[in-house]
């Protein structure tokens, strides 16, 4: 299985609300309305734009973010849907959508790398698209409910254990105080398996931190 993350720009109210602003939106669609988690210094301005575009039923602040429940679903107002492109090339989107820097960040998976390549070639004919990352997956974890407080939410138990042990035992110290072989022995796995856990964990954490805290 293969995964790629794309940044698709323009043409939808939530994306427009983040253009030129210190703000990110995480979208969980519920068919008839949307649940939005907004972070950044310009969250209030995003609130105003979303209210004007689709309406806001409820708004609350929690844990440094603004939570919005919209009056309506974004879909009827969006003209940048990528679902037809996903369908044509046997690709799947992994929720949630994230909006930042005037575009949306989309995680796409496919069984065949060629399908991702074909999807990208197709979608770039109509949209401004940047490839943010791509990788091969040994397995696929189901997207988890939004009950998390740190970027560690995106990791499996083994990935979390790998990166936590690496940090605790000085792998990220300068100079390094341990090796991946020693850390693998501590976890009871071979070195290559440990390094795969660590690589995925590092990639997920960097993506989560930069996606939430920068304008990508």
Per-residue pLDDT 10s for the chain (216 aa) are 899 999 988 667 888 899 888 888 888 876 678 889 898 888 899 999 999 988 999 999 876 688 999 988 776 655 557 888 999 999 998 888 888 888 888 889 999 999 999 999 999 998 899 888 888 877 766 555 454 445 555 566 788 889 989 988 889 888 889 999 999 999 999 999 999 889 888 877 777 666 544 433
Alpha carbon distances (Å) from 75 to 30, 66, 111, 134: 11, 21, 27, 27
* Among 85, 104, 136, residue at a domain's last position: 136
Instruction: Let me know if residue 145 belongs to a domain.
Output: no
pTM reported for the whole predicted model: 0.62
pLDDT of residue 148: 44
| 75 and 177 in a common domain | no
* Among 74, 102, 136, residue at a domain's last position: 136
| 106 and 55 in a common domain | yes
| Spatial distance between the Cα atoms of 118 and 182, rounded to a whole number of angstroms | 41
pLDDT of residue 47: 94
pLDDT of residue 21: 86
| 74 and 46 in a common domain | yes
pLDDT of residue 214: 41
Please state the separation of Cα 101 from the chain's center in Å.
Answer: 14
Instruction: Let me know if residue 177 belongs to a domain.
Output: yes
| 156 and 129 in a common domain | no
* Among 136, 159, 193, residue at a domain's last position: 136
Phi, psi (degrees; rounded to nearest 5) at 213: -115, 0
Instruction: Let me know if residue 141 belongs to a domain.
Output: no
Sign of the CA dihedral running 132, 201, 196, 2 = negative
pLDDT of residue 80: 59
What secondary structure letter does DSSP report for 70? E
What secondary structure letter does DSSP report for 142? P
Burial class from Cβ neighbours inside 10 Å (0-12, 13-18, 19+) for residue 167 reads exposed
User: Into how many domains does the chain fold?
Assistant: 2
| 11 and 64 in a common domain | yes
| 194 and 118 in a common domain | no
| 118 and 19 in a common domain | yes
Own/partner contacts of 47-51, CB < 8 Å, gap of 24 or more, are 49/13, 49/16, 49/17, 50/13, 50/14, 50/17
pLDDT of residue 178: 93
Total number of residues shown for the chain? 216
Instruction: Let me know if residue 143 belongs to a domain.
Output: no
Q: What is the side-by-side strand order in the sheet with 128-136?
A: 56-62, 65-70, 34-39, 24-29, 92-100, 103-110, 2-9, 128-136
Q: Which residue's structure tokens are 């805290």? A: 213
| 12 and 96 in a common domain | yes
| 121 and 80 in a common domain | yes
| 104 and 72 in a common domain | yes
| 165 and 207 in a common domain | yes
pLDDT of residue 9: 84
Please state the separation of Cα 32 from the chain's center in Å.
Answer: 23
Instruction: Let me know if residue 144 belongs to a domain.
Output: no
Instruction: Let me know if residue 146 belongs to a domain.
Output: no
Domain span at residue 70 reads: 2-136
Q: What is the CATH number of the domain that holds 158?
A: 1.10.10
């Amino acid at each position: 299985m293969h995964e790629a993350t794309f940044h698709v720009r323009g043409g939808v109210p939530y994306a427009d609300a983040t253009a030129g602003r210190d703000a990110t939106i995480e979208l969980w669609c519920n068919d008839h309305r949307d649940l939005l988690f907004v972070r950044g210094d310009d969250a209030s301005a995003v609130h105003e734009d979303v209210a004007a575009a689709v309406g806001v039923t409820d708004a609350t602040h929690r844990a440094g973010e603004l939570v919005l429940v919209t009056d309506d679903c974004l879909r009827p107002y969006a003209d940048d849907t990528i679902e037809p492109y996903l369908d044509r090339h046997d690709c799947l989107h992994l929720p949630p959508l994230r909006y930042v820097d005037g575009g949306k960040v989309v995680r796409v998976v496919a069984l065949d790398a060629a399908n991702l390549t074909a999807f990208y070639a197709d979608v770039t004919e109509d949209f401004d698209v940047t490839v943010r990352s791509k990788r091969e997956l040994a397995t696929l974890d189901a997207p988890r409910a939004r009950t998390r407080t740190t970027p560690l939410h995106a990791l499996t138990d083994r990935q979390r254990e790998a990166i936590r042990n690496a940090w605790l035992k000085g792998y990220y110290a300068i100079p390094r105080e341990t090796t991946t072989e020693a850390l693998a022995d501590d976890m009871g796995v071979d070195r290559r398996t440990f390094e795969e856990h660590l690589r995925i964990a590092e990639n997920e954490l960097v993506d989560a931190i930069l996606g939430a805290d920068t304008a990508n």
